[in-house]
């Protein structure tokens, strides 16, 4: 399923429900400037995008499918007859773009508006006036992305009945009375209609243009002026809130990223793939139901002044849609650069009959404070400077092995990824960068000094991307350390932003901007980090499939490929024999380590929940599933490992409930026993 983030543009449709009906004479129309923008964007993409695609009949077909998905991803509004009527545009959109004509987008939207009105009339005037029978054995399927389009109004009614019945049952299981259920649902759908009425021509044009841009690749986006402002605000991170990036997932607001150093990250109470279904202000403010809301309206409720509290009602990812809701409280704060810097801790880890001091460096992003550097501040923040300092402190503290934790690190400064690699190798190439003109540059570590030559483990997961993949890939290619965890995200591309005002003179009125892909990363062995990401040397259990959560989940993602590798000298630190021994040891633990076995069982259950597309609408069955999910959640128990962090006295025991980190530490201790490094 495509991930359209708030900072890219605000996606409204996707099986959303909006309510009390839009006047039939409401018509959103194209403006002359839209056609000019469309033509210019098309020319820029054809000439300067890395992929060098032509906007032709083939791409026109992809654009149409993408636009229909943007409006009705769950295939609940349009009918088969509508889709057939749109076929006349399938191989015309490329020609229309060159003719500065985007009327097709508005014609399709007008049909969507008509179907929306029909659906809301049925929901408000039929479904919400009836009582549901929760003793029958019916099922609701939330993911209809690949389902056939309904052919008749009767078929749509059946889909919508199950859809609303599922919401009603969730409210009943949450303790709501029949009157409260009907009032909540009516408010929910009427708010949807109110939100729908706020749609403007710019929004429709934005959806269509993103269907055009994303047919090149998922990181190429068109920003309307409004969306461009949101993007800039997000990049500056000047807004106060909880530090989580959100997206619309059917009716739910889903967490897609936890910003390092923010309140959400520090709380450890909210996680990627959790769904937010309610928001309340302060300790006692009324919880507002946000199912079916536009993403920007949910964000407005969650954001707020530093120091104030917000309560969130979540459906945790670990228990899925069938699990019980959980209410958490977070205190809003600004995301500060210092909160995203490298952090260290020392783990006193059992190693045979001894205890080893192992260092862990958690790196949320690859950062570089360019402004402070330009001002001559000798204490400017830099990933490489900070980790060099931490490693030297570890040496003084008797640390004998090192874990670099890059999980959820979405990247950052490319040069810092190169420089950081240089702390662990003497010198040599780190990454190759190829541009849209097929020119390849090699970025090298030119510092012959070696800051750390001991055993090294690098932890990665599905959300390690970009610069993280460059560092992990280089460490793996040089055989300098062991990569442990999940396959990484697979984002091996670079984007730039073009302000369209520089090209189009629209009488001083802003016309938006274009973000497009201009470069691609390749490892020093010639393999791209794009699409496939970095495959760990030792793969740990994961609930996340790349086809759902990685770069490869998007059909327009740039493909993996290879170019000629560059010369580099592998180190003797990680041999085939060592890797074979570490893998065999891990396989043995899968059979004998109770904590690992329980973790594997939890992961398999989470995987089942993520793949589950049938939700029972039988009250007794659903209640039992919720109780079982809650029992599984409570059954999870952390292990007790001595964990010493900066500022804490030595020997102060803390619980280590992070199984990925525990496995990384076990592997590191086995490397120590092998006297590697």
Q: Which residues of 427-461 are buried (b: 16+ CB within 10 A; e: fewer)?
A: ebbbbbbbebeeeeeebbbeeeeebbebbbbbbbb
Let me know if 466 is a catalytic residue: yes
Question: For residue 223, what are its two tokens?
Answer: 């920003």
Give strand ranges (E) for 40-173. Answer: 139-140
Question: For residue 355, what are its two tokens?
Answer: 């205890």
H/E element, 626: helix 619-635
Q: Name the catalytic one among 215, 466, 468, 528.
A: 466
How many angstroms separate the Cα of 480 from the Cα of each of 423, 468, 534? Answer: 11, 16, 15
Give residue for tokens 């992070």.
658
Closest by Cα among 551, 518, 539 to 582: 539
Q: Name the catalytic one among 405, 477, 537, 602.
A: 477
How many angstroms separate the Cα of 74 from the Cα of each of 15, 219, 249, 429? Answer: 5, 23, 10, 47
H/E element, 494: strand 493-499
Question: For residue 85, what are its two tokens?
Answer: 């009527």
Closest by Cα among 381, 453, 399 to 424: 453
Q: Phi and psi of 278, rounded to 5°?
A: -155, 150
d(CA 576, CA 537): 10
Let me know if 413 is a catalytic residue: no
H/E element, 359: strand 354-362
Are 460 and 407 in contact by the 8 Å Cβ rule? The answer is: yes
d(CA 660, CA 546): 18
Strands 309-315, 326-331: pairing is antiparallel
Q: Phi and psi of 5, rounded to 5°?
A: -80, 155
Q: End-to-end alpha-carbon separation of the chain, Å?
A: 43
Strands 653-656, 343-351: pairing is unpaired
Q: Name the catalytic one among 491, 527, 537, 606.
A: 491
d(CA 390, CA 458): 16
Quote the Cα angle for 189-157-144, to 5°. Answer: 80
Active site residues: 466, 477, 491
């Amino acid at each position: 399923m495509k991930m359209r983030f708030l900072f890219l543009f605000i996606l409204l449709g996707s099986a959303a429900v909006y309510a009390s009906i839009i006047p039939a004479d409401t018509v959103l129309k194209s403006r002359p400037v839209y056609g000019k923008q469309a033509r210019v964007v098309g020319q820029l993409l054809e000439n300067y995008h890395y992929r060098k695609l032509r906007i032709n009949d083939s791409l026109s077909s992809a654009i149409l499918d993408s636009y229909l998905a943007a409006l009705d991803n769950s295939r609940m509004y349009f009918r088969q007859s509508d889709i057939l009527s749109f076929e006349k545009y399938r191989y015309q959109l490329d020609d229309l773009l060159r003719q500065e004509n985007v009327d097709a987008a508005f014609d399709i939207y007008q049909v969507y508006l008509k179907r929306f009105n029909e659906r809301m009339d049925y929901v408000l005037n039929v479904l919400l006036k009836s009582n549901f029978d929760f003793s029958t054995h019916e099922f609701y399927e939330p993911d209809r992305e690949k389902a056939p389009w309904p052919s008749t109004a009767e078929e749509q009614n059946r889909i919508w009945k199950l859809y609303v019945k599922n919401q009603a049952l969730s409210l009943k299981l949450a303790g709501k009375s029949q009157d409260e259920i009907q009032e909540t649902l009516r408010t929910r759908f009427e708010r949807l209609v109110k939100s729908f009425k706020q749609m403007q021509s710019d929004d429709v044009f934005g959806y269509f243009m993103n269907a055009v841009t994303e047919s090149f690749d998922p990181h190429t986006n068109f920003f309307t002026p409004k969306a461009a402002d949101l993007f800039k605000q997000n990049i500056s991170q000047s807004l106060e809130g909880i530090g989580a990036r959100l997206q619309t997932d059917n009716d739910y607001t889903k967490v897609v990223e936890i910003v390092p150093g923010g309140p959400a990250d520090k709380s450890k109470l909210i996680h990627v793939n959790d769904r937010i279904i309610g928001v309340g202000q302060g300790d006692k403010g009324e919880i507002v139901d946000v199912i079916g809301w536009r993403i920007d309206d949910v964000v407005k409720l969650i954001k707020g002044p530093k120091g104030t509290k917000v309560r969130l009602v979540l459906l945790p990812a670990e228990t899925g849609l069938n699990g019980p809701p959980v209410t958490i409280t977070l205190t809003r704060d600004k995301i500060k650069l210092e909160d995203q810097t490298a952090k260290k801790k020392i783990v006193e880890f059992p190693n045979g009959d001894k205890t080893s001091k192992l260092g862990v460096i958690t790196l949320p992003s690859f950062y570089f404070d360019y402004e402070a550097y330009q001002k001559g501040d000798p204490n400017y923040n830099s990933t490489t400077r900070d980790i060099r300092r931490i490693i030297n402190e570890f040496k003084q503290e008797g640390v004998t092995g090192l874990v670099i934790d890059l999980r959820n690190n979405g990247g950052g400064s490319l040069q810092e990824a190169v420089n950081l690699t240089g702390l662990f190798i003497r010198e040599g190439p780190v990454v190759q960068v190829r541009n849209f003109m097929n020119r390849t540059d090699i970025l090298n570590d030119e510092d012959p000094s070696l800051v750390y030559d001991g055993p090294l483990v690098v932890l990665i997961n599905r959300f390690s991307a970009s610069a993280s993949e460059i560092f992990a890939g280089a460490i793996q290619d040089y055989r300098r350390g062991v990569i442990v965890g999940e396959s990484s995200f697979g984002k091996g591309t670079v984007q730039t932003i073009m302000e369209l005002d520089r090209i189009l003179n629209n009488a001083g009125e802003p016309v938006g901007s274009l973000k497009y892909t201009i470069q691609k990363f390749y490892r020093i062995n010639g393999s791209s980090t794009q699409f496939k990401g970095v495959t760990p040397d030792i793969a740990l259990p994961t609930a996340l499939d790349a086809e759902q959560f990685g770069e490869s989940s998007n059909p327009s993602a740039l493909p993996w490929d290879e170019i000629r590798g560059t010369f580099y000298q592998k180190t003797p630190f990680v041999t085939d024999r060592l890797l074979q021994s570490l893998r065999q040891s891990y396989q043995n633990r899968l059979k004998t380590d109770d904590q690992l076995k329980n973790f594997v069982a939890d992961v398999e259950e989470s995987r089942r929940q993520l793949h589950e597309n049938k939700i029972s609408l039988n009250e007794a069955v659903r209640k039992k599933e919720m109780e079982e999910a809650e029992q599984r959640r409570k059954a999870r128990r952390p292990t007790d490992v001595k964990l010493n962090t900066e500022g804490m006295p030595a020997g102060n025991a803390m619980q280590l409930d992070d199984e990925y980190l525990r496995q990384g530490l076990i592997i590191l201790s086995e490397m120590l026993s092998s006297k590697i490094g």
